[in-house]
Structure 1
């Protein structure tokens, strides 16, 4: 198989001044070379090029036989080279290219089938039959963008003609520090990101955000991507002080408490005749009036008294996680409040179905109650000091570039 074409990365060099931009325009009288039409590793000028897509009823054999390839060659491809290119697996709607001879026969010499936007298979019928898989050249270009929130982040992205995927990436980066359901008009952002181009010119979407600045309620929040090949799991987004943007959940919603009952789906209680009564929460026992803390930043979605739950509060932390706090003596927050990790949201009580003062702490992931002690929840450890030199060397030019971007 031919060696895969390595992706190239176009870097934007920073200068001391934000306004000092290199002029790459073509000067008068400069000679511009004629562009050679080359694709898939072939000079297309040497062939009659036919581009089409697989249609309903098409087979590899029908396409090639109609273009002058012998049945023997077609059978050889179908039987001897199945590991490289299985002709039975061509898919309706996928593009293909025929490179035909530039003579009166107009016979197909090369067949190219695109499995996706980057990968393709080549069947070369010239001389000795050759079959291989390859990739189109991919270029990553660093770009900048900025915007001011008018109604929503997605609407602002659309106004700026930016990829919707950027909305998702920003929401993921700041999921633990910004409530994206509570953005205010006037909140604003800047991003430095890489965009993918196939065959040098075809846009293929956002690759990743390298650095970002988000101003929420007047508070500036920087984010810088850090990648490491270390065995330590330190890759992710950090702020200008190397603090992890992910916020950990507190291990308990109450200080100086003890676990009186764990999450247990097989729990049976003598009082109820040993019938199966699953316990989908973790009980933390503490004296009445002990403060109950939000275990992570988030938005209060429930704050009410209902049935066996008694007084309870439920908090949504991001698109994945929610937490719930039951049996409170009293609640200290209302629906719609944004709470920070460690905020007092209520006090230990005995409301609802409870045999003693405690808070039943329930942990939700993707809409299901799970055991928080068995979940691989994100941690917020700062970047280890041994990576600081590398991190800050990478951060300084990115921060300078971010600060130079105007809204």
Structure 2
């Protein structure tokens, strides 16, 4: 019976040409199979090993392949750290995969901005900021742009010798930044970005160190305070604090003592200046005067331990303490005319140019020149008080000006009928001349009661420290045992 090919529904019968192409392959397979059978009968052990290798190859071929035909890697998810402060609407990065045993490639660090390279310029006498910019190859237009950026940069045009400016100038980019001292506590930066010039401030670490000093008067307050390590400015502050109670030109005696606690201002390990006096004690002719710095809400002032303000309505001495060349004397013999003529004030000998202060708050009612008085200033205060200042080298206020106590109104000179440089100072109450050194000065307002507890707590600790420097019992000699030998004056 002949075999007939049965057609399978839905499939096309292979063509003869395809069978002709496949037939040689089938014949080769039958031939190889015959050879394998004969080899298996002849050498069974070797043949079994070969069969095993063939099976292993088939199994390996069944493992799915990854890209490029390599075995697919087993994977594990890697969770990226969330950036601090990231916005909630930021998309989560895709999960990365890594081959087992291999670490993730490290991301390339973001390029950092070039570090500023500062060139320091210290302003010399006569030098202008325009000249500095020109020497650095920067144009006048840039300087104008900088000083008109903000109110802070506008002040840069007012420079002084010793001021320092730092410039960051890139050879390719040009001007990048300027840095200078805004004030004692901060830097001012002017920087260029894509939007133009911007400014910012950066704080500087300022340290305030507490310093103590004490001494005994042997020649003069100035000399002995300098020997104790005080600067000229600190000596003047000490004299100013007690200037309402002590006339440092006439009242100082050998053996008087002083002690003070004050601040020194340091920045970045470098001394800058003296700070405020926190507490001070001055023993003059057996009487102890003490002052503590305290801020009751209107700015720091000095108060006695009982809360009385050290500040009075008028200064005893309206200039830096100096030698008194002539006291208040109703029957003085005039040194120029030779006639007996009342000396209705006090003459303070001092160098030409010594600042003269307003003795109290008031209004300038006269400011001019006459042959007897030279350059003079009259100030009217409250309570029908007028003070007069004569023989000035120059005046710095004019008629009608309002002045504050301690404000410089002129400078010592020798104009008019004067034998040498000095200030003639007069004090009139209700039109009558009074001795400014002995008249009772009206007190200032006392410390408000609600601040006394805090003031006492702070003041007690400072006064206790002063006791270790200048114990009151050891310093306050009996007035009766004092000799009548003054430093720069006689009794």
TM-score by length of 1: 0.52
Residue of structure 2 aligned with 1:211, choices 271, 279, 298: 279
Counterparts of 2:246 and 2:325, CA distance in 1: 10
Secondary structure of residue in 2 paired with 1:305: coil
Aligned-residue offset at 1:57 = 6.3
TM-score by length of 2: 0.44
Contact kept, 8 Å, 2:261 with 2:278, in 1: the verdict is yes
In structure 2, runs of 5+ residues without a counterpart are: 1-113, 315-323, 334-338, 349-355, 361-383, 391-424, 432-440, 472-491
Match in the other structure for 2:91: none
Aligned-residue offset at 1:163 = 1.7
Larger RCO: 1 or 2 (CA < 8 Å, sep 6+): 1
Match in the other structure for 2:118: 49
Secondary structure of residue in 2 paired with 1:229: coil
Match in the other structure for 1:396: 460
Matches within 5 A, 1:61-210: 61-63=133-135, 65=137, 74=142, 77-78=145-146, 81=149, 83-86=151-154, 89=157, 91=159, 93=161, 94-100=163-169, 108-114=175-181, 120-125=187-192, 128-132=195-199, 134=201, 136-181=204-249, 182-197=251-266, 199-210=267-278
Aligned-residue offset at 1:91 = 3.4
Secondary structure of residue in 2 paired with 1:304: coil
Q: Deviations over 1:70-89 (max 9, x none)?
A: x7993893597265534982
Aligned-residue offset at 1:372 = 5.5
Residue of structure 1 aligned with 2:449, choices 376, 385, 404: 385
Counterparts of 2:152 and 2:442, CA distance in 1: 41
Residue of structure 1 aligned with 2:328, choices 287, 298, 302: 302
Match in the other structure for 1:242: 307
Matches within 5 A, 1:310-389: 314=345, 320-321=358-359, 363-367=386-390, 379-389=443-453
Secondary structure of residue in 2 paired with 1:110: strand
1:405 counterpart = 2:443: no
Counterparts of 1:115 and 1:63, CA distance in 2: 23
Contact kept, 8 Å, 1:137 with 1:200, in 2: the verdict is yes
Determine which structure has the larger strand proportion and give its number.
1
Counterparts of 2:148 and 2:357, CA distance in 1: 49
Count of equivalent residues: 265
- Structure number with bigger Rg: 2
After superposition, the CA RMSD in angstroms is 4.4
* Structure 1 residues 400 and 299: alpha-carbon distance in aligned structure 2, compared to 1, 3 A threshold: farther
Contact kept, 8 Å, 1:54 with 1:90, in 2: the verdict is no
* Structure 1 residues 109 and 188: alpha-carbon distance in aligned structure 2, compared to 1, 3 A threshold: same
Aligned-residue offset at 1:51 = 1.0
Contact kept, 8 Å, 1:319 with 1:366, in 2: the verdict is no
Aligned-residue offset at 1:145 = 1.2
Q: Deviations over 1:210-259 (max 9, x none)?
A: 111111122222111221116xx9x632222223334557xxxxxxxxxx
Counterparts of 2:155 and 2:308, CA distance in 1: 52
Determine which structure has the larger helix proportion and give its number.
2
Aligned-residue offset at 1:406 = 5.7
Q: Deviations over 1:166-211 (max 9, x none)?
A: 11111111112222123222211111112222x3333222221111
Secondary structure of residue in 2 paired with 1:392: helix
Q: Deviations over 1:134-154 (max 9, x none)?
A: 364433222211111221111
